[in-house]
Amino acid sequence: MLTGKKVRLRAIDIKKDAELFTEWINDYEVVKFLGRPFKSISPDEERRILKGLLLKKDTVLFAVETLDGGNLIGSISLMGINHFDGTAITGTLIGDKQYWRKGFATDAKMVLLNYAFTVLNLRRISTRVVADNIASVRVQEKCGYTREGVWRKEVYTDGKYRDVVLLAVFRNGWMKQWREYIRKAD
């Protein structure tokens, strides 16, 4: 288990977690900026998807749980892990909307980056965010990512073609940000 200031990242338990994951994936407001067609799914389909993700060798998927109360509120992942280049891509989903705008995604992402840089020894982590997903862009910037470019009108999501912002963070420089983050009380 990996612990931050507000959340812990733990292994997914498909049997226990799939119901809530299904609720989130079926909530249009939660998934509208994920850049894929909206389609509601059943708990069985979600169990199959989770099983497939957990079997992937280049992916690490964690459940995000509150430190206070141990509530399951979302998931966070490293995908496309490439040990030769030292790179991976991150994805974050806080599915329980009552936890939005309270710093949970930022904390989960900082914990994940520390794992990526210190345990997996990666050196560059990137992400792609629909430009209109202001909260997500903000989370990446708070965690030390900088913008590297824009793919114009790259995805059709939430009713129109939208830009995608590319962001990345490097281990060099970030470890200082982590030490300051973990030292500072909220």
φ/ψ of residue 23, rounded to 5: -55, -45
β-sheet with 146-157: strand ranges across: 2-3, 7-11, 60-66, 72-82, 87-94, 124-130, 160-170, 146-157
41, 21 in Cβ contact below 8 A?
no
Least distance from C-beta 25 to ligand COA, angstroms?
A: 10
Least distance from C-beta 28 to ligand COA, angstroms?
A: 11
> Mask of contacts with ligand COA, 53-82, x by CB under 6 A?
------------------------------
> Mask of contacts with ligand COA, 79-118, x by CB under 6 A?
-------------xxx-----xxxxxxx------------
Number of residues that bind ligand COA (CB under 6 A): 20
Q: Which C-beta is closer to ligand COA: that of 36 or that of 183?
A: 36
If phi > 0 it is left, if psi is from -120 to 50 it is alpha, else beta; for residue 82 that is: beta
DSSP class per residue in 21-67: HHHHHT-HHHHTTSSS------HHHHHHHHHHHHH-TT-EEEEEEET
Q: Is 139 in the site for ligand COA (CB under 6 A)?
A: yes
Least distance from C-beta 101 to ligand COA, angstroms?
A: 5
Which residues contribute to the site for ligand COA (CB under 6 A)? 30, 33-34, 92-94, 100-106, 129, 133-136, 138-139
